[in-house]
Chains A and B, each alone.
Chain A
Amino acid sequence: MTPLEDIRVILATDCGSTTTKAILIQKVGDEFRQTHRGEAPTTVEAPFEDVTLGVLNAVTELGELSGRKLLDAEGRIIRPARGEEGCDLYISTSSAGGGLQMMVAGVVRSMTAESAERAALGAGSIVMDVIALNDRRLTHERIERIRQLRPDMILIAGEVDGARTDKVVKITETIAAADPKPRLGAGYRLPVIYAGNRSRRDDVTRVLGGKTSLSIVENLRPTLEEEVLLPARERIHDLFLEHVMQQAPGYAKLMEWVDADIQPTPAAVGAILKRVATEAGINAVGVDIGGATTDVFSVFGEEFNRTVSANLGMSYSISNVLAEAGLANVMRWMPFAMEERDLRNRIKNKMIRPTTIPQTAEELVFEQAVAREALRLAFLQHRSFATRLKGVQQQRTIADSFEQDAGVESLVKMMDLDLLVASGGVLSHAPRPEQTAMLLIDSFLPEGITRLAKDSIFMMPHLGVLSQVHARAATEVFEKDCLVVLGTCVAPRGTARPGRPALTYRLEFPGGKEKRETLLAGEMRRHPLETGAEARVYLDPARDFDLGPGKGVPLEVTVQGGTVGLIVDCRGRPLSLPSESAERVDALKTWIEEVGVYSREAILH
């Protein structure tokens, strides 16, 4: 590999389920910038069954667009860069072929099994099922389920070190009885990681050693008040590279090409978000809404969490959003009426033909209404998962662990959130940035002062891997090219009867221009403020409203502009839309018009 200080051209690919995306990062002057992007269909499935074909196609397109020759006559990536040829570094992520699919098991669902789930999710996997002794299933039902699943890998946790019970061995025996088979590759043994009670290692080896490819790591709950996820996460990553990737078509070849380990796409997205939040000392939430799944990432203080809502998405899973949220919840975001039979058919037609896009304004409004519910549900799941016990090696008191069972408060506190980052088609490709901003605000309901941004061309996975090889390049590109800053949302927490004053504020724009305003409960206001510009805001909430320091306490802050600007949202937190249909439609129309979400014609029905 080219020495770090000599790197000038970086090629990065992300092999998604349907598309392989390639980007080119080059040193322009003194800084790294993302300069070009190419893409091609992923080629994991028949008839190609070789992921590298898609990579080469995407790189070829990138080469054509950038005018840089990246492949030699034999179709190899040219390294190092010479003049207008080649690159110095090539890296890749992958979620093709369904990504990394795991099953986890533990003794108690809310304790060791949950820790195992956290370890698996943090390593970028999809958790197909969580097996626990108290999961309300009978043993034979668990066995049936394990047989059906065919995961890529199983992680078993259970009991604290030295515990003198046999529960973790029981779970292990259940798994052995099911004799699970791996999803890919008929001829190899399923990788199983044991991260439970140290004193049961011999028993577990006796039960599973002959049937699976068993590896043993440190207990991820060595004591009740301690959670040590790193060893299990690292082993998952190693096994992903050693076993799973080797079985996926073409990956053995791809692994030889790259200059850094291939990472599962979500693990890479998590890595970049964590780095950026930690470096800036802020709390951040990122969301990636895809066709089949929605990933939510959060970094609060030192704590990183990730959840995958496996069946919430905008195409393959759109029908499931309707099933889970209910039609009424989707319809509450619609500024006009539609007939149920027609709506249901439209949703199913999107599911069976997932690549279609809304042509009419009416279809766009409806699709974004569904997206609000998908995002809301995914975030709810995330908040309830991101509780006290998490992250890498943390000391807690015994009292804390009892708290967990008592439904502890989520770590994701909306008032403390500084940055909310959107990615995924429906958010990144919304025709107007105001739509992305409004989707984020309606679904996540940020409180206090929150910056809103979107990932311009879904570059976060590439930058996640890059951050582990060339941190400076990753951070520079993230700030300059990856993030499109939408602006800032100011939203006081609290509610009041519509029409009562909620917030009085004074805005000092760059150049000295001032604006004073009082917003009533139920009102929204948008103030244009350019990207890169800052404004000073003096906020004086009414006595029932809180912007962070307490109810009715004034606050003075500097806010950042963006493609949308500053949005002041006094609709209240929690947000409740008018229950009466005509009133609700009127309210939606007013907000839509104020923020500039849709054209007037789009909502005239």
Chain B
Amino acid sequence: MAHAYTPGLKVTENELLHRRRLLPIPGEVVVEEGAKVRPHQVVARTFLPGKVEIVNVANKMGVDQSDVPGAMLKKEGDQVRQGEVIAEAKSLFGLLTSRATASLEGTVESISGVTGQVVLRGPPQPIEVDAYIESRVLEVVPDQGVVVESRGTLIQGIFGIGGEATGEIAMVSSSPREVLDEDSLSADLRDRVVVGGSLVTGAALEKAVQLGIRGVVAGGFDDQDLRRFLGHDLGVAITGHENLGVTLIVTEGFGRIDMAPRTFRLLKRHQGHRASINGATQIRAGVIRPEVIIPHQGTVPQPRDRPREQGMDVGSTVRIIRNPWFGKLGRVASLPSEPARLDSGSRARVVSVRVEGLGEPVCVPRANVEIIEGRD
């Protein structure tokens, strides 16, 4: 069997893309099927249930819990203003009056004669979902949102931080090997998505935030810089919710690693085009990878017939993803069927990879290579 099932990341020029743009709870869809939509155009909106606060009325008024329903001036479902008296009781032959007030503006959700607590719910908060990419509404999911469709270039990264953003692509590095440092960035790059080569330095990322750059795409990033940038050590790789002023997409991995030439070429070809990017990453069951999407401009080109790569074969382009040749690209020279002994002492199925500049093909565990999907 000449196949190995190592999933690669997608780097394709002509991909039919679908994205589900759904509300977290049911609401109203404001666009119609077939409509052309812009990235920031709202496609669905709703209201999230408001903030909840529990007022311990019995404690506040010094009355028994069971007396609370009788002391209420408001009933379940009534509107209240912040500071408004919601319950009142008289004591000491009617000489003393104790009151409880609403801690927020909203409605009375429930009144408990057991605990003496009253649940208040604040006003609903509006929430909107935009189209994210320049696209067409393929399907309306009633009360939830839409599925948008677009044809364009898709580049999946390996790791990212920060959420969705859009901006014009600006090539800052001239080769996939070049490091994107702070000197590479200038004020005219505001609102752009800048592309570096093998590494973006921590200082460059901080400068990107200051300059109002929307996104940074680079081959590698140092974990030490990530820690500094986030303000903590990233323990579990679930990202995308950071609000640090810029979205980062790392295409190859941690450390300085040349960006795959094909990825770099594709980005370069789209210099000046508007890209939609998302740094959200989840490396768990239900993996989510960060992405750069560049919808095709003008007329939509027809898809080229491209055989989908299912497995690894002799001649496949692969990247070695672990030491000692971490980050190197090469072509599969052979796929021995028998397991081989590694330097670590383990036995594993291996692949022989011809790497430029290394002379003879090198032997690597199949688990340590990934197929570079998509061809030029």
Contacts and interface: CB of A to CB of B under 8 A. Distances in A.
Contacts of A355: 6, 367
Interface-centre pick from B223, B233, B234, B281 (highest chain A CB count, 10 A):
B223
Interface stretch (A30-38, A86-94, A342-350, A577-585): A342-350
Contacts, number: 165
Nearest to B348: A357
Nearest to A46: B286
Contacts of B233: 319, 322-323
Nearest to B104: A140
Contact of B344 (A96, A169, A358): A358
Interface in B325-376: 326, 342-348, 364-365, 367-368, 370
A348 B286 CA distance: 19
Contact of A169 (B49, B112, B237): B112
A374 to B, nearest CB: 12
B65 interface: yes
Contact of B237 (A203, A319, A357, A431): A319
A146 to B, nearest CB: 10
Interface of A is mostly: helix
Interface stretch (B207-215, B303-311, B316-324): B316-324
A573 interface: no
B54 interface: yes
B324 A316 contact: no
Contacts of B348: 357
Interface in A140-198: 140, 143, 166, 169-170, 173-174, 176-179
B321 A166 contact: no
A397 interface: no
Contacts of B347: 431
The dominant DSSP class at the B interface is loop
Nearest to B324: A360
A341 interface: yes
A351 B237 contact: yes
B235 A359 contact: no
A316 B237 contact: yes
Given A324-B235, A360-B343, A173 B54 contact: yes
Nearest to B287: A45
A177 B54 contact: yes
Contact of A352 (B158, B224, B368): B158
Interface string B28-57: 000000000000000000000101111000
A17 interface: yes
A360 B346 CA distance: 10
B65 A166 contact: yes
Nearest to A365: B344
Interface of B: 5-6, 49, 51-54, 65, 109-110, 112, 114-117, 119, 121, 158-159, 222-224, 226-227, 232-237, 253-255, 281, 283-286, 321-324, 326, 342-348, 364-365, 367-368, 370
29 contacts: A96-B285, A140-B54, A143-B52, A166-B116, A169-B115, A177-B109, A179-B49, A316-B236, A319-B233, A319-B237, A320-B236, A323-B232, A323-B235, A324-B235, A344-B224, A345-B253, A348-B234, A348-B254, A349-B254, A349-B321, A352-B158, A353-B370, A354-B283, A357-B322, A357-B342, A359-B324, A360-B324, A360-B344, A364-B345
